[in-house]
Chain A
């Protein structure tokens, strides 16, 4: 069965982050004169670009960073927004696509591993709400964890959306070239996406098998400061 049979794929969406709010995940990793600034946040692409500089200035001021960071931050954000905007306006054949999202991140002392399914077609999805619920349910009190999870989800969605745009372009081209009959199913291009028929067919239950529960269960670890230091050192080493 072709995924294009579903009504969603027939009416392609313009490119955007497939969530309720079209927020672009921005990741900053700037190092100037031995000072390193790492941050991750979301940015509304419909905001005027003048905001970027204002934001950079403010951040530098708040964090008491050297002024050299202002331009670097602004540039980084600007470039990421530009990249995002380069996809805008393009068709996105997301089709019937449910992808597994894997989380494995460390925020300060909290280590989170998780895995869940995300529907790219669900334009009502809300990573921020999801991460809030997750933190509440797991009793994570660190206020930085929630936004970090949300950004992580958005990054993955962004990545997949970009892939979809690419595949859509590819399929369009192949359509032109081969009269459109060799339509590549989107699910294949998604790579990691789930076989929907197998999951949601009439035979199978939507209730997971018990042995899979552990895989899809979030794992939270609280690390001591020493562990964090050790981990950071390790990350440094692998990065170089």
Chain B
């Protein structure tokens, strides 16, 4: 309904600021300061029929401009006819007509006219109190005040609310946003920055700032402006049981308590967790792993056991022979369950459990196995990548190298060698892996068991063999890695050769093209050469004929010659 016109006020109204925004009805959009529209000519014919000196288009325009400017000096109040007629020279009736015309079209008193009429009529009818109207109440006005920023600033405000509420809009990157809502986000009740709903227990927080979005928004990919998927990390609030958001935050007291309880209880995380109280078992483990010295603490524990190991070895020398038969039994089982390593290790555990009567310690060995198995997994991966034959070769090589180092454990590896040579090629790698694992398992279980169980003799039966086996396993892994590296290098080399070949070929093609091009050019030259020769001949002939004709005409030679020549 309303149309805003941006009207330069020109010199007509010097007291008016430039480029004010006025609201006039859209049906009056024909209005222009510089022109008189047909509508005006039609409605106020008397100014345009040249009937009188007092009624000319110029005078009309002056009337009109003055009235409109007068109104716009104070658009909030209603302009009355009586007000303008004192300032304008001319027939009051004519002035009234112009005034009424402008008012009808909303160029003045827009938005207030009808209400005011009603009001005035009511007043006339009822009240006898004489009252001078000072324009309409401000609330009635529909049109905008020229200087007010409301119409300009209003849209952004609306937009803002839309942005906050609507899910389709993105938040504008206002710096003040985080200032304003930052505290809100930090509070327990988290509001999604995108959809404005409560985030619930799980939400994603942007690593850069405090901007958080709820899970739904995260899934939908609404990350907000300038935020990428990678920036967000999943956070959970305290309402969840398994993992608390405060789990990331460990107080110093808590950490100390954790360390103490680890030292006291070792790897029994349940006891540790009970000791720490405020944190769950998983939290404790994670925190312990995160600690820079966590590994070394555990290692030192195992090493301490290892160091203590050899002392007992003297007595258990003969029992080392008991170890190998055990290992020979294990592989067939494992081959059946090839693939899932966890199960393998469980098997091993079961085997061990059969030996070691330490039920309360079962879990701790299992957890250690978990951490150590990651290395084994890598080895297995490498070996599977390399291929069974190479793996087998690597393991044999490492074993022979070890055997060269010290001769006596040769017989220990005899069984293993038997396996490598005898067993299926495909199984060889896994066998070796499992062997290594087994070795480690044994070692761990031994290490853990020792401080508690009194039956030392039984545990240390194959202590020396274990150390050797560990070394063998490491050597195997290294060998496999080396083999794999060699393989990769070979592949790279081939790739490089191939690429080089392609490059040379392309260069050759390029050269050939160039040669062909030059050949073409030569051909063109050759064809053009006779043409030019012909032209030369022709020119020569012409010159001769011109000279001839000059002689015939009898023009002196000395006069004509240079001109011809040139």
Interface of A with B (CB < 8 Å)? 6-8, 96, 98, 110, 116-119, 121-122, 124-126, 129-130, 133-134, 136-143, 196-197, 199-200, 202, 205-208, 213-214, 216-218, 222
A206 B93 Cβ-Cβ under 8 A: no
Query: In the complex, A134→B120 CA distance in Å?
Result: 13
A88 smallest CB distance to B (angstroms): 23
A36 smallest CB distance to B (angstroms): 25
**In the complex, residue of chain A having the shortest beta-carbon distance to the beta carbon of B61:** A206
Query: Looking at the complex, which one of B66, B87, B94, B131 makes contact with A213 (CB distance below 8 Å)?
Result: B87
Query: Looking at the complex, which one of A119, A122, A141, A214 makes contact with B131 (CB distance below 8 Å)?
Result: A141
Query: In the complex, A196→B129 CA distance in Å?
Result: 41
Let me know if B18 is at the binding interface, CB within 8 A.
no
A202 B52 Cβ-Cβ under 8 A: no
Let me know if B300 is at the binding interface, CB within 8 A.
no
CB-defined interface of B117-132 with A at 8 Å, one 1/0 digit per residue?
Answer: 0001001100111111
**In the complex, residue of chain B having the shortest beta-carbon distance to the beta carbon of A138:** B82
B130 smallest CB distance to A (angstroms): 5
Known: A118-B91, A199-B89. A96 touches B96 (CB 8 A): no
CB-defined interface of B93-136 with A at 8 Å, one 1/0 digit per residue?
Answer: 11011000000000000000000000010011001111111000
Which of A7, A129, A139, A216 has the most chain B CB atoms inside 10 A of its CB?
A139
B92 A117 Cβ-Cβ under 8 A: yes
Query: Looking at the complex, which one of A7, A130, A134, A214 makes contact with B93 (CB distance below 8 Å)?
Result: A130
Which of A8, A119, A143, A222 has the most chain B CB atoms inside 10 A of its CB?
A119
Question: Other CB < 8 Å A-B pairs besides A138-B132, A202-B58, A206-B63, 20 of them?
Answer: A98-B54, A118-B92, A119-B54, A119-B91, A119-B94, A122-B93, A130-B93, A137-B81, A137-B133, A138-B82, A139-B132, A141-B123, A197-B53, A199-B89, A206-B62, A206-B90, A207-B87, A207-B89, A208-B87, A218-B86
A122 B94 Cβ-Cβ under 8 A: yes
B62 A217 Cβ-Cβ under 8 A: no
Let me know if B80 is at the binding interface, CB within 8 A.
yes
Query: In the complex, A166→B381 CA distance in Å?
Result: 128
Known: A139-B132, A140-B130, A217-B86. A98 touches B59 (CB 8 A): no
B124 A143 Cβ-Cβ under 8 A: yes
Query: In the complex, A108→B53 CA distance in Å?
Result: 40
Known: A8-B52, A207-B66. A129 touches B96 (CB 8 A): yes
CB-defined interface of B38-66 with A at 8 Å, one 1/0 digit per residue?
Answer: 00000000000001111010110011001
A98 B90 Cβ-Cβ under 8 A: yes
**In the complex, residue of chain A having the shortest beta-carbon distance to the beta carbon of B123:** A141
A207 B96 Cβ-Cβ under 8 A: no
Query: Looking at the complex, which one of A6, A116, A196, A213 makes contact with B51 (CB distance below 8 Å)?
Result: A6
A125 B89 Cβ-Cβ under 8 A: no
A208 B88 Cβ-Cβ under 8 A: yes
**In the complex, residue of chain A having the shortest beta-carbon distance to the beta carbon of B50:** A7
A187 smallest CB distance to B (angstroms): 11
A137 B52 Cβ-Cβ under 8 A: no
Query: In the complex, A222→B128 CA distance in Å?
Result: 13
A133 B91 Cβ-Cβ under 8 A: no
Known: A139-B133, A200-B53, A206-B62. A124 touches B93 (CB 8 A): yes
Which residues of chain B have C-beta atoms less than 8 A from A205's C-beta?
Answer: 62
A99 smallest CB distance to B (angstroms): 9
Query: In the complex, A124→B82 CA distance in Å?
Result: 19
Query: In the complex, A213→B497 CA distance in Å?
Result: 102
> Ordered nearest first, which 10 A-B pairs have the shortest CB separation?
A119-B91, A137-B80, A125-B93, A137-B82, A139-B132, A216-B86, A217-B86, A116-B92, A200-B54, A206-B62
Within 8 A of A (CB), among B127-169: 127-133
Which residues of chain A have C-beta atoms less than 8 A from B92's C-beta?
Answer: 116-118, 125, 130
**In the complex, residue of chain B having the shortest beta-carbon distance to the beta carbon of A194:** B89
A208 B120 Cβ-Cβ under 8 A: no
Count: A-B pairs, CB below 8 Å: 112
Query: In the complex, A199→B133 CA distance in Å?
Result: 32
Which residues of chain A have C-beta atoms less than 8 A from B129's C-beta?
Answer: 141
| B: contact size bracket | 35 or more
B127 A141 Cβ-Cβ under 8 A: yes
Within 8 A of A (CB), among B273-306: none
A207 B62 Cβ-Cβ under 8 A: yes
Known: A116-B92, A118-B91, A126-B93. A137 touches B83 (CB 8 A): yes
Query: Looking at the complex, which one of B52, B82, B130 makes contact with A134 (CB distance below 8 Å)?
Result: B82
Query: In the complex, A125→B92 CA distance in Å?
Result: 8
Query: In the complex, A136→B82 CA distance in Å?
Result: 9
**In the complex, residue of chain B having the shortest beta-carbon distance to the beta carbon of A199:** B89
Query: In the complex, A67→B53 CA distance in Å?
Result: 54
Query: In the complex, A225→B86 CA distance in Å?
Result: 30
CB-defined interface of B424-440 with A at 8 Å, one 1/0 digit per residue?
Answer: 00000000000000000
A229 smallest CB distance to B (angstroms): 19
Let me know if B170 is at the binding interface, CB within 8 A.
no
Query: Looking at the complex, which one of B80, B88, B120, B132 makes contact with A207 (CB distance below 8 Å)?
Result: B88
Which residues of chain A have C-beta atoms less than 8 A from B89's C-beta?
Answer: 117, 199-200, 206-208
Query: In the complex, A102→B86 CA distance in Å?
Result: 13
B130 A7 Cβ-Cβ under 8 A: no
Query: In the complex, A110→B132 CA distance in Å?
Result: 13
**In the complex, residue of chain A having the shortest beta-carbon distance to the beta carbon of B99:** A133
A108 smallest CB distance to B (angstroms): 11
Within 8 A of A (CB), among B71-87: 80-83, 85-87
Query: In the complex, A206→B127 CA distance in Å?
Result: 38
Query: In the complex, A28→B87 CA distance in Å?
Result: 35
Query: In the complex, A193→B85 CA distance in Å?
Result: 18
A152 smallest CB distance to B (angstroms): 14
Which residues of chain B have C-beta atoms less than 8 A from A217's C-beta?
Answer: 86
10 cross-chain CB contacts under 8 A: A6-B53, A96-B53, A136-B120, A141-B123, A141-B124, A199-B90, A202-B58, A206-B59, A218-B82, A222-B130
Query: In the complex, A130→B85 CA distance in Å?
Result: 11
Known: A7-B51, A141-B123, A216-B86. A125 touches B132 (CB 8 A): no
Which of B51, B59, B92, B132 has the most chain A CB atoms inside 10 A of its CB?
B92
Query: Looking at the complex, which one of A133, A142, A200 makes contact with B82 (CB distance below 8 Å)?
Result: A133
Which residues of chain B have C-beta atoms less than 8 A from A125's C-beta?
Answer: 91-93
Query: In the complex, A126→B100 CA distance in Å?
Result: 13
**In the complex, residue of chain A having the shortest beta-carbon distance to the beta carbon of B70:** A207
B131 A139 Cβ-Cβ under 8 A: yes
A198 smallest CB distance to B (angstroms): 10
Which residues of chain B have C-beta atoms less than 8 A from A137's C-beta?
Answer: 80-83, 133
B115 smallest CB distance to A (angstroms): 14
**In the complex, residue of chain B having the shortest beta-carbon distance to the beta carbon of A207:** B66
Which residues of chain A have C-beta atoms less than 8 A from B80's C-beta?
Answer: 133, 136-137
A143 smallest CB distance to B (angstroms): 7
B523 smallest CB distance to A (angstroms): 85
**In the complex, residue of chain A having the shortest beta-carbon distance to the beta carbon of B92:** A116
Query: Looking at the complex, which one of B59, B90, B97 makes contact with A117 (CB distance below 8 Å)?
Result: B90
Query: In the complex, A161→B290 CA distance in Å?
Result: 111
Which residues of chain B have C-beta atoms less than 8 A from A6's C-beta?
Answer: 51-53
A118 B93 Cβ-Cβ under 8 A: yes
Query: In the complex, A110→B130 CA distance in Å?
Result: 10
